[in-house]
Structure 1
């Protein structure tokens, strides 16, 4: 669960939550919605702007998940997110269970269990599916 003392950082143009801020001394540590630190602590406005500039597009990317019932990490996409958990669903033809198998992971995420796919966004639900 995202700690209660982290407060939401809102995007000024639409009020969308783009991350969290935690007071560290006189500065603020910015975190994305998954609880990952976003750079070093900074003055409030700078920390909030950093989160706003980062946006939310990272949530639409494919991710890599070290699932316990498979020898290799699998590709997943995020389907749900709240302060307590992120739900990812399988998006990997090499995984022995169905596409869309859900996994709920507590926040902040453990970077050894879930990390951004290094090849970027990529198509969803198409890895390993033959064309034509």
Structure 2
């Protein structure tokens, strides 16, 4: 899936894209750069903007868990985000020369990529 036409880009004061806002009924739903809704129900426009600005983009540098083809979970980092797909690689723990696998997952993100703390099972890494 690609970016829905109804999503309106929202940028910080410095011009950095931090997400999108979708009109829904009489309110608005903010979506982060991974395409995840960041409000449980539609909210007013200003709170939608504030939500995206408070979240920022720092979560893109967090550690994630990626469900791979064998059904297991690997420790992963996001390396690229676009409105067509998301680039992910196994966490190399800062060793940029380490041989690790890379993956492409859909945008908006689905349940294959979750914050590390939310992994529903054991998470392996390239170094364990």
Same fold, judged at TM 0.5 (above): yes
Using structure 1 for the length normalisation, give the TM-score.
0.79
User: Partner of 1:50: helix, strand, or coil?
Assistant: helix
How many residues were matched structurally? 116
Q: What is the root-mean-square deviation in Å for CA atoms of aligned residues?
A: 2.2
Q: Deviations over 1:55-81 (max 9, x none)?
A: 11110001100000x452001100111
List runs of 5+ in structure 2 lacking aligned partners: 119-124
- Pairwise mapping of residues 34-113 of structure 1 onto structure 2 (< 5 A)? 34-39=34-39, 40-68=41-69, 70-91=70-91, 99-111=99-111, 113=112
User: Partner of 1:4: helix, strand, or coil?
Assistant: coil
List runs of 5+ in structure 1 lacking aligned partners: 120-125
Using structure 2 for the length normalisation, give the TM-score.
0.81
User: Partner of 2:15: helix, strand, or coil?
Assistant: coil
**Aligned partners of 1:101 and 1:109: how far apart in 2?**
19
Q: Which residue pairs with 2:117 in the alignment?
A: 118
